[in-house]
Amino acid sequence: MIDQQDLQLLKTIQHGLPITSRPYAEIGKQIGLNETEVIERIALFMQTGLIKRLGVIVKHQRLGYTANAMVVFDIPDHRVSEVGESISKARFVNLCYQRPRQGKQWPYNLYCMIHGKSREKVCQQLQQLIKSRDLDPYDREILFSKQCFKQRGALYFTPSPSPLSVANG
Amino acid sequence: MDDTDKAIINYLQKGFPICESPYQLVSEQLGIPEAELLQRLQKLLDEGTLSRFGPMYHAEAMGGALTLAAIKAPEQQFDEIAEIINRFPEVAHNYQRNHDLNLWFVIATESSDRIQEVIQSIEEQTRLQVYNMPKCKEYFVQLQLEA
């Protein structure tokens, strides 16, 4: 269980870590914890999975990644974990999830996102993925995004209502 | 953005040390002075190449819930439907994609019960079926986007 100080800490770092030589000491100063306590608590958040990752979140467009593809596969249930593990290791796969099929209309159970610098490049990368993982026998579709209506950053602690969010949808 | 900036971005997408002098450690790995790392990182944030430098929380572990949903919006009502969906504060992302299922959005709420309520409201307001595809499993990806 997280206590009030944990909550305070999570709130303080949600917008970013201080960019100074001793960032954890700096955070501690703001909320009345010492450097060691901050380090121990954040390490525990990582261990328990409350924090998935600590690091930078890039803006796709700024790095030239303008083609955004969601690729979906219909993989037999007994193979889906193995295939998921395997495709998530490809350098150009940015997210990989297993999701429930939606009947005959949408029989896909494995999703991955490929952000690429052009549609051609993304299609090439997908072909490479299919070939190297022997995925050709399985049905698939590639859905490019045409328009992004809304993309909110991660905000976990806001005045009500308090929405949760993800990066890189 | 030069090669050093790219190296910083790629390195820091994989993680950040949790120790007294984390930037010092990263700068040694990258072979640049710590002061230069701090200065470059600040600049990348200021100019908007990076949207954030900090934690990515696990929604479910924080007690919240997330799902990916999609809808088949008929062409002639497309804008109207997209607008209805965007009005929900629980909708975090909303993308138009080239498929019959042409609107794909992420619903993020404080509790899992609330996901169902939001889906129901969207169905009532749009009079369309919402396909709900919560994740069963996430596969770990190390580097998000190579700079």
Query: Does pLDDT of A162 surpass 60?
Result: no
Query: Does pLDDT of B91 surpass 90?
Result: yes
Q: Are strands A67-73 and A93-98 parallel, antiparallel or unpaired?
A: unpaired
Chain A CB contacts of B44 below 8 Å: 56
Query: Does pLDDT of A165 surpass 70?
Result: no
Q: How far apart are CA A12 and CA A30, in angstroms?
A: 8
Query: Does pLDDT of A134 surpass 70?
Result: yes
Spatial contact of B76 and B69, defined as CB atoms under 8 Å apart = no
Please name the residue that has the structure tokens 């309520």.
B117
State the DSSP code for A15: T
Nearest to A146 by CA among B132, B104, B53, B15: B104
pLDDT of residue A151: 63
pLDDT of residue A62: 84
Confirm whether B59 is domain-assigned.
Answer: no
Pairwise CB contact (< 8 Å): A25 & B13: no
Residue B83 and residue B120 in one domain: yes
Nearest to B21 by CA among A28, A22, A20: A22
Kindly provide the residue ranges of all beta strands, DSSP E only, lying in chain A, ordered along the sequence. 51-58, 67-73, 93-98, 110-116, 140-151
Residue B69 and residue B37 in one domain: no
Amino acid at A143: L
Query: Does pLDDT of B60 surpass 70?
Result: yes
A134 token code pair: 């022997």
Chain A CB contacts of B81 below 8 Å: none
Chain B CB contacts of A53 below 8 Å: 15, 55-56
Number of domains chain B is built from: 2
Q: How far apart are CA B38 and CA A37, in angstroms?
A: 23
Confirm whether B33 is domain-assigned.
Answer: yes
B145 compared with B95, residue with greater pLDDT = B95
Model confidence at A157, pLDDT cuts 50, 70, 90, reads low
Domain boundaries, chain A: 4-48, 61-144
Nearest to A92 by CA among B99, B37, B65, B145: B145
**B33-46 pLDDT, tens digit each:** 999 999 999 999 99
Chain B CB contacts of A165 below 8 Å: 92, 106, 108
Confirm whether B117 is domain-assigned.
Answer: yes
Residue B14 and residue B69 in one domain: no
A24 touching chain B per CB within 8 A = yes
A27 touching chain B per CB within 8 A = no
Segment 117-156 of chain A within 8 Å of chain B by CB: 141, 143-154, 156
Query: Does pLDDT of A159 surpass 50?
Result: no
**B121-137 pLDDT, tens digit each:** 999 999 999 999 999 99
Nearest to B120 by CA among B108, B132, B110: B132
Helix (H/G/I), strand (E/B), else coil: A11 = helix
Return the CATH number at B102.
3.30.70.3460
Can you give the residue range of the structural domain that contains B11? 3-46
Confirm whether B143 is domain-assigned.
Answer: no
pLDDT of residue B61: 81
First-last CA distance in chain A: 28
Residue B72 and residue B38 in one domain: no
pLDDT of residue A156: 57
Residue B71 and residue B12 in one domain: no
Spatial contact of A15 and B54, defined as CB atoms under 8 Å apart = yes
Residue B100 and residue B69 in one domain: yes
Please list, in sequence order, all residues whose beta carbon lies within 8 angstroms of the beta carbon of residue A93, skipping any fewer than 6 positions away: A87, A112, A113, A114, A129, B141
Pairwise CB contact (< 8 Å): A97 & B137: yes
Pairwise CB contact (< 8 Å): B61 & A50: yes
Confirm whether B13 is domain-assigned.
Answer: yes
pLDDT of residue B63: 80
Chain B CB contacts of A25 below 8 Å: 20
- Of the ranges A5-19, A59-73, A74-88, A145-159, which is most confident? A74-88
Model confidence at A15, pLDDT cuts 50, 70, 90, reads confident
**What number is the average pLDDT over the span B103-113?**
90
Query: Does pLDDT of B26 surpass 90?
Result: yes
Residue B71 and residue B127 in one domain: yes
pLDDT of residue A6: 92
**A33-82 pLDDT, tens digit each:** 999 999 999 999 999 989 989 999 888 888 888 898 999 999 999 999 99
A101 compared with A7, residue with greater pLDDT = A101
Residue B129 and residue B69 in one domain: yes
pLDDT of residue A14: 87
Pairwise CB contact (< 8 Å): A94 & B141: yes
A104 touching chain B per CB within 8 A = no
pLDDT of residue A101: 97
pLDDT of residue A66: 87
State the DSSP code for A165: -
Q: How far apart are CA B16 and CA B22, in angstroms?
A: 7
**What number is the average pLDDT over the span B97-120?**
93
B114 touching chain A per CB within 8 A = no
State the DSSP code for B15: -
Query: Does pLDDT of A102 surpass 60?
Result: yes
Please state, in angstroms and as integers, the Cα–Cα distance from residue A128 to each residue in A120, A122, A135, B120, B125, following that order: 12, 10, 10, 40, 42
For residue B52, what are the β-bridge partners? A57
Q: How far apart are CA B46 and CA A151, in angstroms?
A: 19
Helix (H/G/I), strand (E/B), else coil: B67 = strand
Fold designation for A61-144: Alpha-Beta Plaits (3.30.70)
Segment 72-91 of chain B within 8 Å of chain A by CB: 82, 85-86, 89-91
Confirm whether B52 is domain-assigned.
Answer: no
State what percent of residues in chain A have pLDDT above 70.
87
